[in-house]
A and B are shown apart, each in its own frame.
Chain A
Amino acid sequence: MNPKDLATATQVTWCPGCGNFSIMSSMRMVLAELNGEGIPLENIVLVSGIGCHAKIVDYMNVNSFYSIHGRTIPVASAIKIANPDLKVICFSGDGDSLAEGLDHLIFAAKRNIDITMILHDNRVYGLTTGQFTPTSPQGFKGKSTPSGAVEHPINPLDLMLVSGASYIARGYTHGIEQLQTLFKEAILHKGFSFVDVLQVCVSYNNLYDSYNKWTYTVQGNDASSFEEAQKIIRSWNYDRSDVPIPLGKFYQKEVERFDQSFEQYRPNLSERDSKMKILLENFI
């Protein structure tokens, strides 16, 4: 399968130079590769929220549910529970999943449900034209914070680690090969996988120069160690722009999954009426 076959005829409306292009082409390549490796394309379901990131589902000729702002996780969770054979991949933004839908994200990690979250983390609201988000640094001058944001940012990876996510990684939209590796690992991982992608918004928060200067890929780290993962994750807290920013896989562990507990429950229509009769006897 050629990754180009995964495109729809829809005109792409992202700004030229937008980091979303890298995420989309990486994902197309990974899905084509997985198809060749025995995961049929029809078993993939993409779920997106609302924001620039979310348009990706219109541009990919793959099953999808274009949900609402902040609400990828509950939709994706139910699709997975409904049919464990499906691979469910969420695309979400930092405003989408860290502000409006933060509770769902934490619960997905807490449940370690077997779905993947790709966070298009551009650290600004793009589609609403430039307000600060939960990962914007303190002092960020956006349209809603013209004098600079008072709050410090959330470190989403730190939050995911303590909440129970079992695959945690960070990529950067200037590193397509690494994105492919991380996306593939995340999709194949059994459990809740979270990939934070430093996705540059060229129109409202162009951080290419800063990221090019400060990002580096971690080498030889022990991804099974919670402590080591936490140390790497906390070495950059999204506030400062004068410290190294680690990329790569930080944490991976096989643990019990929420979705497993439902696999035994399938409606048995042939026994339903007789079981209902027996149940009603209990109420006499």
Chain B
Amino acid sequence: MDNFSTLIGGIAGDGINEAGLTVARLFSRLGYHIYMYYDYPSLIRGGHNFSLVRVSQGKIAAHTDQIDVLIALNQDTLEKHAGRLKESSFVIYDADKVKLDETKHRGCGLTITQILKEAGAPAIMKNTCIIGGYCKVVGLDWSVLQDVLKKHIPKMLELNMQVARRGYDQAAQFCHMGNHADSSNDKHAQKPQPVLTGNQAISLGLIKAGMGAYVAYPMTPSSSILDFMAKFGPQFGLKVIHPESEISVMLMAQGFAYAGVKAAVGTSGGGFCLMTEGLSLAGMAEMPVVVIMAQRTGPSTGLPTYTAQGDLHFVLNAGQGEFPRFIVAPGDAEEAYYWAGFAMNLAWKFQVPSFILTDKTVSESQYSFDIDLAADPSGDLKEETLMSHLLWDGLGEYKRYRYTETGISPLAFPPLHGQVIKADSYIHDENGITTEDPQIATQTSDKRQRKGQFMAEYLEGYETVKVLGDEKSKTGLLCWGSNKGVCEEAARKLGLRVIYVLVLSPFPEKRLKSALQGVERLFAVECNSTGQLARLAGFYGIKTQDRILKYDGRPFSVEYLLAQLGRVLA
């Protein structure tokens, strides 16, 4: 089966994210590629949560509306998602909670309450029980589930296995999902890959690039980076701090930078509002800092747990005054890993703020992650080799803001015997001492702009714009960030070209124009209400014929995008 989707739904507190992840891991072990979208409202208990796990023989990074199997832990799940069921779909449900009209849908119910009661298991184990049943439904060997549970269930493993087995035995088989990991003749075969969220991939990319400190205040959908760093960071020697506010976060990052420690911060729109004062300081004082800006639906509190691409222009323009910045918007976990490390290296190479702009979709969705695909063969992420080029040669007097051809001043960190290192938020001379001299004011501004210019030239050597789908098509889809996967899939079906812009600042004008060669009709696909990339491209004379926009907090599904394309192409 090329594409197979499973939706598991229940209330918050049922462990729906973890259950979805278990389904993802089962298929990952069979050699499938995974994409999982997790949908949850902003509450701790109750409401409706669902995980949508899609597996495929090729790489995927988008969900479909239609599903093959629905796992319903409550009636609400069945009612909310019945519309996704095809004639061939199958429902597995908690027979004590859910009534299924068998004249409409095929399915089987498990007597979960009874199973748990007989086993003396707590209510939270109902998802293990139903996943056990699910394995039977889709024809997976019991041993695959056993293997996954053994590895990922830290507590009460025996009891979990017992209720899963009861579920497995009680369920009926509906289909048989093949094993790609074992079949050596299968051209799609891949070894089981880790399943990571975009946020986890970003975390690893930053660690790879030599990050020494991570500072953040919790805010959805960036909080899981803080959690990941706090949990796994110490073994990498990472200093992880959760201070009093995002204002403090941004300033701490600069204290670290001043002392020679590579630091990153993470937040979403509201927290980033507080960081802008410090961001401007980083621009003036030339402090390298990596900012992960994970977008959610705004303005203000908006939809805290839902997605958006509404902050592109905010990030492009945040902070008073003019200073260069790097912005990259990765579209899946492998890009997130690679570009996070790249963003760190770039921040230090050019002494600028460097942004990893994600959204809830990229940050919190789960992807198959192949580090060999993500790793950069040219060794860009080896910070050891890079750092030495940035340091002062030790000759003569040290000047923190020495004027150079590229605008980049050599770095040094205290303690430095016989020298002083002065950073300054004011207009300052080469030594970092405040001045109001008009000539120096001009020179320092020119210095910052030179760095921006040099950074733009440096980036010309990288694939900052990608062409996907049918590269010869005269109809193009212009997209960025999380819409990469869905656009690529829709474009393949319709024979369209996708022009996917990865780096948004410095704007890759040359590469974008070359990617657009031969395109006669261009449609912007974005998760905002104004077409922010289309507007940005417009500054460079690039015109879009129409915009396909979605701003309800939910990502594009493949079917929805195809329907919208059908409308504009007609």
Q: Which residues of A contact B234 (CB under 8 A)?
A: 265
Quote the shortest CB–CB distance from B91 to chain A (angstroms).
Answer: 29
Instruction: Find B277's partner among A68, A269, A276, A283 (CB 8 Å cutoff).
Output: A68
Complex Cα spacing A45 to B412, Å: 14
A82 touches B194 (CB 8 A): no
A232 at the interface (CB under 8 A from B): no
Q: Which residues of A contact B213 (CB under 8 A)?
A: 78, 81-82
Q: 1/0 per residue B396-426: CB within 8 Å of A?
A: 0000000000000000011111111111111
B251 touches A284 (CB 8 A): no
Complex Cα spacing A10 to B415, Å: 23
Q: Which residues of A contact B204 (CB under 8 A)?
A: 276, 279-280
Instruction: Find B433's partner among A10, A266, A267, A268 (CB 8 Å cutoff).
Output: A10
A50-B425, A68-B277, A82-B260 given; A284·B195 CB < 8 A: yes
Known contacts A8-B433, A47-B255, A81-B241; can you find 16 more A-B pairs with CB under 8 A?
A74-B251, A75-B252, A77-B243, A78-B255, A78-B261, A79-B258, A82-B259, A83-B415, A104-B247, A104-B248, A262-B239, A268-B237, A269-B384, A280-B204, A284-B192, A284-B193
Quote the shortest CB–CB distance from B386 to chain A (angstroms).
Answer: 12
A64-B422, A67-B251, A79-B259 given; A74·B243 CB < 8 A: yes
Quote the shortest CB–CB distance from A3 to chain B (angstroms).
Answer: 16
Complex Cα spacing A85 to B417, Å: 14
Complex Cα spacing A68 to B247, Å: 11
Instruction: Find B415's partner among A75, A85, A265, A269 (CB 8 Å cutoff).
Output: A85
Most buried by A among B212, B237, B238, B277: B237
Quote the shortest CB–CB distance from B515 to chain A (angstroms).
Answer: 33
Q: Which residues of B contact A62 (CB under 8 A)?
A: 420
B259 touches A86 (CB 8 A): yes
CB contact list, B279-312 vs A, under 8 A: 281, 285
Complex Cα spacing A34 to B263, Å: 31
Complex Cα spacing A65 to B213, Å: 19
B252 touches A58 (CB 8 A): no
Instruction: Find A103's partner among B245, B255, B418 (CB 8 Å cutoff).
Output: B245
Q: List 15 A-B contacts (CB under 8 A).
A: A42-B418, A42-B420, A71-B278, A71-B281, A74-B252, A81-B239, A82-B212, A83-B260, A83-B413, A265-B238, A275-B236, A279-B204, A279-B232, A279-B235, A283-B195
A63-B420, A103-B245, A284-B194 given; A272·B236 CB < 8 A: yes
B101 at the interface (CB under 8 A from A): no
Complex Cα spacing A47 to B281, Å: 14
Quote the shortest CB–CB distance from B334 to chain A (angstroms).
Answer: 13
Q: Which residues of A contact B8 (CB under 8 A)?
A: none
CB contact list, B203-240 vs A, under 8 A: 204, 207-208, 210-213, 215, 232-239
Q: Which residues of B contact A81 (CB under 8 A)?
A: 213, 239, 241, 255-256
Instruction: Find A78's partner among B256, B413, B426, B434 (CB 8 Å cutoff).
Output: B256
Quote the shortest CB–CB distance from A105 to chain B (angstroms).
Answer: 10
